[in-house]
Chain A
Amino acid sequence: MSELRWHPLLGEWVATATHRQERTFLPPPDHCPLDPTKPGGFPTEIPAPTYDIVVFENRFPSLKSDPPPPAVAGSELYPVRPAQGECEVIVYTPNHSSSLAAEPVEQVYKLVQVWTDRFVELGARPYIDYVFIFENKGEAIGVTLHHPHGQIYGYPFIPPRIKCELEQSRKHHEHSGCCLLCDISNEERSDGRRIVATNNSFVAYIPFFAPYPYEVHISAARHLQALTDMSTDEQRALAEIIKQVIAAYDRLFDLSFPYMMVLHQRPTDGREYDYYHFHIEFYPPLRTKTKLKYLAGSETGAGMFINDTRAEEKAAELRAHVQPVVWQSGEGRRER
């Protein structure tokens, strides 16, 4: 049973998806549904003895291409609509005990290519206005499967946080004639204290305004709106800087660092969003090696984050753990 219920106080849709209560929850390592299906072994979600990267429709989706009618009747105050959309799972590697940070940069580059393909295919579907690519990593985030994987939601509307960024970007562009994200990146580059890593095509920084202690943003140096706007060299450079950031996360406390990673791209509703700017945001829940940043009363009930740290200090800590990326294949060694 699933439907979208309108939240009249916030002006947002809320998905109810009661079947998700039954989804696979932290299975034993030898019964991971994202492992390859070994000959004679138990059948996982993936009917192959190995694979490179696999995408499939989520078995427990909150949005579906052919959703059932809402299970409840709506009203003028409480509109409801079918939960139409897509929910995909992207499995990064057949290696159950790996992580994206532990994978070679070549695998991250493959993932960037798959993300791009999914953005194109899902974004072309008439009922999808926004393609949201993300990864939840670590039990602290609430993952139910440890196998390295991410997800893609195809929303039938522009989700609220993106809508807010779009509106702020549009206003800034109207006011200044400049791109908001370009201006933020330029300010971070010129200040320098919050930079974590850079290459010719991207910059990674903990922004001046970061709500989370180790919240890194990766922003494209060139003004572009989506993965599809990138050249091959830019996609390789994106893979490199993602690898640098998440590997630095793991080195920071010498543990597999939990995070949410989200890609912010232009909507796919057919309108122009030239004023918007592609970027990736990481929201790690740790504020120390052993302490979590909880979203408590102020953050959840009022919408105002309280960050117990200074971005300048956290960026310096993280920057100290950034290492050069090595392409085993040599294909990324070209000058950029």
Chain B
Amino acid sequence: MQHRRLTLADGRYLIFYTFDEDAPAEVKPSDTPAQTNEPKREVDARPVAEEERRV
């Protein structure tokens, strides 16, 4: 099991756990998110730092 840790723009951490050699790639959200009545999260979804380790 591996994990890759991101620090999001608002300071929260997010950890991808993977169980094979292929870690997920990041994607860039669209500049114009679809309309929703939920708060927009484009800032929060942008990783600002990351580290990786095998556990």
Contacts and interface: CB of A to CB of B under 8 A. Distances in A.
A56 B41 contact: no
Interface in B20-37: 24-30, 33-34, 36
Q: Is the interface of B mostly helix, strand, loop or mixed?
A: loop
Contacts of A31: 34, 36, 38
Contacts of B47: 47
Interface string A18-33: 0000001001101101
Q: Is the interface of A mostly helix, strand, loop or mixed?
A: loop
A114 B44 contact: no
B13 A42 contact: no
B12 to A, nearest CB: 4
A43 B1 contact: no
A43 B26 CA distance: 11
A43 B41 CA distance: 6
How many B residues are at the interface, by size bracket?
Answer: 20 to 34
Contact of A47 (B1, B33, B45): B45
Interface in A1-55: 24, 27-28, 30-31, 33, 37-55
Interface in A210-247: none
B46 to A, nearest CB: 7
B17 A55 contact: yes
B52 interface: no
A31 B2 CA distance: 28
A73 B22 CA distance: 51
B12 A41 contact: no
A117 B54 CA distance: 11
A37 B17 CA distance: 16
B49 interface: no
Interface in A36-91: 37-57, 59
Contacts of B41: 33, 43-45
Interface string A271-299: 00000000000000000000000000000
Interface string A247-273: 000000000000000000000000000
Given A43-B45, A117-B55, A54 B29 contact: no
Among B15, B19, B44, B55, max chain A CB count under 10 A is at: B15
A113 interface: yes
Interface of B: 1, 3, 6, 8, 12-19, 24-30, 33-34, 36, 38-42, 44-47, 55
Given A41-B34, A47-B46, A56-B8, 19 more contacts: A41-B29, A42-B34, A43-B40, A43-B41, A45-B14, A45-B45, A46-B14, A46-B45, A47-B14, A47-B26, A47-B45, A48-B25, A52-B18, A54-B17, A56-B14, A56-B15, A57-B12, A110-B17, A114-B17
8 contacts: A44-B45, A47-B14, A47-B45, A48-B16, A55-B17, A110-B1, A110-B17, A113-B19
